[in-house]
Amino acid sequence: MDSRTTRTTDGGSTPDRPPRPDGASTSLPGDPSGREVHPVDELLPPLKLFGTGLQHVAAMYAGVVAPPLIVGAGVGLSPAELALLISASLFTAGLATLLQTLGVWRIGARLPFVNGVSFAGVAPMLAIAEEHGPKDALPVIFGAVIVAGTLCLLAAPYFCKLIRFFPPVVQGTVITLIGVSLLPVAVNWARGGSPAAPGYGSVRAIGLAAFTLTAVVLCNRLLRGFWQQLSLLVGLVIGAAAAFPLGLADFGGVRDAEVFALPSPFHFGAPVFDAAAIVSLCIVMVVSMTESTADMLALGRIVEREADEATLAAGLRADGLATALSPVLNGFACSAFAQNIGLVALTRIRSRFVVAAGGGILILLGLFPVLGSVVSLVPQPVLGGAGIVLFGTVAASGIRTLAEAGMESGANTVLVSVSLGVGLVPIAAPTFYDAFPEAVRTLMHSGISAGCLAAVLLNLLFHHVGARRTPSPIGVTPWQSSPRPPTSGS
């Protein structure tokens, strides 16, 4: 544990203890040692840790279980094997989250950063399943994931140097895209989660989502103190309670779930290393690294502890190590969960130990499948209503960053407008890149990675190629040291 850690009772929101303008740590009242502790390193009382950690789990649970559900169905697993795959994903997501938040040596960003199963790899994994057949698919997938994770681990200290190409105007664009890209997910949840679900898109499902959204907003407006910080969780409970009389809650998962199950290493067979599968998932890993870098930069701004090169490298190492080890316990690639960044922004609880508590809860859900099935009682429309608040909060944080980035500059206006347009293409037209090669589809199918790539390239064009520079500290360009880009003759 960090030597600067101390216990507070305000949940890390510190409304009466505003941060210093330079983003440094704040002095805790009543601390006889006089130590300064940043809100990220504050340790809450146990009850608050559990409640706020559970809120993070509720926000991410659907995203963790969706990939194993889809891949498991694609390879024809039995219900018992599918339950094992889901439990493994929950367990490995918990381990990855603990690694990111608590850190070991130079591994882990030590920010309130949630890790879980990356959805970016679902399509390539389904393609692998189609090529190799259901029986042999999982060992091939696991072998490719191990290599992809090792690539991320080794490339982390070099990939993190891309931070110099992420000035505030690029960061704000990417943060906005993260929120906007996730909103269709919330809308799909609000309709029922899957076209195959009973009542998908019905007035009853959408009405439940609207009711949950209203409950979250009213809780945030009317509650005070710690309960206000739990407004999302309270809204989810209210929405789930309303789902029972509407017949939108299913108890079947609870009845059929095992009480306790230990992870079984390589349960589906020893990993198989296939060249084509490895290349496919390594491309996915590069995309995930780009998104993780953008997410860490976004989270750093929200918690007012900027993510520097060392932080980015440590965070990417955690992604890589967790991904490389995950297949041993029958899990998939691990990456950042952007929806939880929205929860940090919404609640203003910046303590990394809150997210670590969420990681501990995920481990318990993986070890006790019956607990995970209780969490899964929350219907998709309820998650959709809450998701609109979460993902909209991320987009709002990006807009706020853009407001500080000198948008009166014509170059920055073009950069933002083009990057947002490119990022919105796969959202507005999901099949837009279907005729392109697989590598291009993998990169551009994500609005976040497509918009991020466009923003970085345009930043290079406008602010690096042929730009006149003023003397600045070694390794720092004028547009890094100021929220505004350099002007001619500066």
Q: Which of 314, 285, 312, 310 is nearest to 298 (CA)?
A: 312
pLDDT at 468: 54
pLDDT score for 375: 64
How much is the pLDDT for 132? Answer: 84
CA-derived radius of gyration, the chain: 22
Alpha-carbon distances of 125 from 74, 138, 278, 288, rounded to whole Å: 9, 9, 11, 15
Tell me the β-bridge partners of 116: 335
- Measure the CA angle with vertex 127, ends 372 and 440; round to 5°: 110
Give kind and range of the element (H or E) at residue 69.
Answer: helix 46-74
- Inter-residue contact 210 to 191 (CB < 8 Å): no
Q: Where do we find the tokens 């407008």?
A: 417
| Confidence at residue 253, expressed as pLDDT on a 0 to 100 scale | 60
C-alpha to C-alpha distance for 104 and 358, rounded to whole angstroms: 18
Residues 6+ apart with CB under 8 A from 306: 23, 300
List the beta bridge partners of residue 42: 6
User: Looking at residue 461, what is its pLDDT?
Assistant: 92
**DSSP label at 36?**
E
CA distance linking residue 384 with residue 4, whole number of Å: 38
Around Cβ 216, how many Cβ atoms within 10 Å? 25
Half-sphere exposure of 95 (CA within 13 A, CB side): 23
Give the pLDDT confidence score for residue 66 in this predicted structure.
73
Mean pLDDT per 10-residue run, the chain (490 residues)?
42 39 41 69 91 88 78 76 86 95 94 85 78 85 95 93 82 82 85 84 94 93 80 86 82 69 88 87 82 88 90 95 95 85 87 95 89 71 85 81 81 93 90 85 78 89 71 38 37
Residue 463 has, within 13 A of its CA and on its CB side, a CA count of: 27
Q: Report CA-CA distances (Å) from 283 to 125, 199, 230, 245, 280.
A: 12, 37, 38, 46, 5
Stretch (H or E) spanning 37: strand 36-37
- The reported pLDDT for the residue numbered 481 is 36
CA dihedral angle for residue 176, residue 433, residue 320, residue 23, rounded to 10 degrees: -10
CB atoms within 10 A of CB 205: 26
Give the residue among 63, 54, 26 at the shortest CA–CA distance from 383. Answer: 63
235 to 128, 223, 224: CA distances (angstroms)? 40, 11, 14
Q: Other C-beta atoms within 10 Å of 441: how many?
A: 18
Picking from 185, 173, 170, the residue whose alpha carbon sits closest to that of residue 420 is: 173
